[in-house]
Amino acid sequence: MKANPQFYDYWPYDERRPKIQWPNGAKMAFWLAPNIEFYELNPPANPYRAAWPQPYPAIQGYGIRDYGNRVGHIRQMQLLDKYGIRGSISLSTALCEHHPEIIQMCKERNWEFFSHGIYNTRYTYGMTEQREREMIRDSMLTIYQHTGQHCAGYLAPALSHSEQTLDLFAEVGTELFGKESGLWQGKETGGIYTCDLFHDDQPTPIHTRSGKRFVSIPYSLEMNDTIAYVVNKVEPRRYGEMLKQNFDRLYQEGSTSGTVMCIPTHNYQVSCPHRLKAFEEALDYITSHPDVWVTTGREIADYYLQHYYGAAVHNIAEQHAAIGVKA
Amino acid sequence: MTDKSLPLDYMQYPERHYGMDHSFYPWSMLHQRKNIVWPQGKKLALWLNISVQFFPMDQKGKPFKVPGGMTMPYPDLRHYSLRDYGNRVGIFRLLQAVDHYGIKPTFSVNSRLAEQAPLLLHKLAQRGDEILCHGWDMDSIHWGNSAQAEANNEAALIEKSLSVLREFTGQPVTGWLSPAQNQSENTALYLANNGIQYCGDWVNDDLPYAFNPQHLGPHGKPLLNIPLSTELDDQFILQNNLHSETSYLQQVCDACDLLLAEAEHYGGRMLALNIHPWLLGQPHRIAYFEQLLAYLSSKPEIWLASGSEIYSAFSGQSE
């Protein structure tokens, strides 16, 4: 075990970072990541983490998550349509098989699909490297087969990780969609960003063992509706206020250097009838501001890799060299 | 040393196919179903259920401690008597409020109250509002896979709960709410076999839906699930989430507004509220409940309905 995951170098959030400007001079890149998940009623037991607090069948926890797919999905989708937001879906990829109707609706809207594992009840804990690689590969292939998209991003299922998770994702992305794959599109399109790290409000370069250019895109645990509602037990109207306050500060700081705001959502939380109004008010507020680039995770990663990745790596090395240490 | 290796089937996905990963009910999206029309063209069915409960002090807590149950070493007088407060005092505040606003509730009742508080059950039965069976008591959880349910003799537990309640109240008792809204793999089947027409346990929808046809009752129709929202349950908001009473009121009103607006395009919707006399019946909370009733009763598009009335109105249209 390590004291520090060593995925990234310490890099202070101050004026020494290269100034980011998003397309058309935007100050902030705003993206919205609906988690569209499938939880199994009777998954095989993982010795590190129980899927449900009650013995099978845990119909309460299962039921409300099923509500997300049966009821909540369309509600949130209608709202995103209204405010001109394309979702970047953190997808339990087995949903392609279980509920293809939902996948179809997202495809019609040109939403992005990225991998959130196969099921949100299959944890990475205890997997050998080979098994985790298989699981990641299966999830990326499933997205490709059902949507034609080259999966660019990863959020580990139920945020369960190994030390190799990011390396494996980056490698499988290149194996499936890189130069040798037969599906090459002139640049790396698969396995280029992660949502698993919460260390910054701007994208940052991530070390991979293969040396692939790979970035972390801010995804925000704090603005995640499930964290807010289930873990922190926030009142719905307060959640709406938190979103606006988060936006206000990141928007203000974006004048200095472009920031990223993400709202990760779950249709079984934010789309409940007592919560949607607060969420809509926040979306209305955010999208009414000029100079906000309303975009997707992949587009942020692509733009950053193209324009700022090299400068960031150089800047990190330079700052360390200036005080006589190695990054 | 504990074995931390994954089971052999951890990378296998036998249920990875179209639809659900179980056989209780079919997959279906709410907004793609046929529009439902409630009686008199009303937009929103309001089902207000009051859960009338008995928490035994000698709680076994198997397979889990019921939320709201005993938490202290025996004898847990504080929780026993505070729950009993709901049945002695709180319920009468709630009754006064619903009667004042003309809102007809249903009562989901632990059958054991026939022995523990016959005066209360008698009074509730006399009102003529619908009574649902809420299981035997709050410590009699319905749980486990099929083999466990058989080993627990759950079929007999359901039979006893229903016969005691039917006999005491004289009502047919066709609705069911499990303690903690927990079910075993067999509960739905047993309920259908015992003449239950609908249960409120699964919270995966904003409208009723039918279970798969193997859950057929003697009445020849499959069991219906009429989701009794846990997200808007007073116990969930006030006791689990520790939200304020003001927020409780706002959340239910916001839900009401959203569902009413949705009903404009998608047909009838349903607002199913479950409340507890030991919570909202407290002196410092009852005013919020009254404000809620004032708000709901000010909406002419609301249809005040019992579970059975929703069952009948829905069954007639969904075939």
Every domain of chain A and the residues it spans? 23-45+53-322
For A283-311, write each residue's pLDDT tens digit.
999 999 999 999 999 999 999 999 999 99
What does residue B190 show for φ and ψ, rounded to 5 degrees? -60, -40
Contact A117, A156 (CB under 8 A): yes
Determine which of A42, A59, A103 to mutate to test the interface with B (most B C-beta atoms within 10 Å): A59
Proportion of chain B above pLDDT 90, given as a percent: 94
What CATH class does B38-318 carry? alpha beta
Portion 11-70 of A in contact with B at CB < 8 A: 38, 40-42, 44-48, 53-60, 62-67, 69-70
Distance from CA of B144 to the nearest CA of A (A): 6
Distance from CA of A76 to the nearest CA of B (A): 12
ipTM over 0.90: yes
Which helix (H) or strand (E) segment holds residue B294: the answer is helix B286-297
The arithmetic mean of pLDDT across residues B255-262, rounded, is 98
Q: Say yes or no: A83 contacts chain B, CB-CB below 8 A.
A: no
pLDDT reported for residue B3: 61
Rounded to the nearest 10°, the torsion over CA B286, B292, B297, B303 is -110
CATH number at A23-45+53-322: 3.20.20.370
Q: Is the pLDDT of residue B194 over 60?
A: yes
For B51-99, write each residue's pLDDT tens digit.
999 999 999 999 999 999 999 999 999 999 999 999 999 999 999 999 9
Chains A, B: CB pairs < 8 Å: 161
Q: Say yes or no: A101 contacts chain B, CB-CB below 8 A.
A: yes
Taking alpha carbons only, the member of B157, B166, B156, B159 closest to residue B137 is: B157
Q: Kindly indicate the confidence band of residue B1, based on its pLDDT and cuts at 50, 70 and 90.
A: very low
CA atoms in the 13 A half-sphere facing the CB of B290: 13
Taking CB atoms and an 8 Å cutoff, what residues of chain B touch A57?
22, 145, 183-185
Domain-by-domain residue ranges, chain B?
38-318
Contact A21, A77 (CB under 8 A): no
Taking CB atoms and an 8 Å cutoff, what residues of chain B touch A273?
206, 232, 254-256, 258-259, 271
Taking CB atoms and an 8 Å cutoff, what residues of chain A touch B254?
236, 273-278
Q: Which of the residues in chain A have pLDDT under 70?
A: none
Q: Strand locations in chain B, DSSP E?
A: 44-52, 106-109, 131-133, 175-176, 198-199, 209-210, 224-225, 269-275, 302-304
Contact A64 B241 (CB under 8 A): no
Q: Kindly indicate the confidence band of residue B103, based on its pLDDT and cuts at 50, 70 and 90.
A: very high
Check residues B213 and B35 and name the one with the higher pLDDT: B35
Portion 147-176 of B in contact with A at CB < 8 A: 148
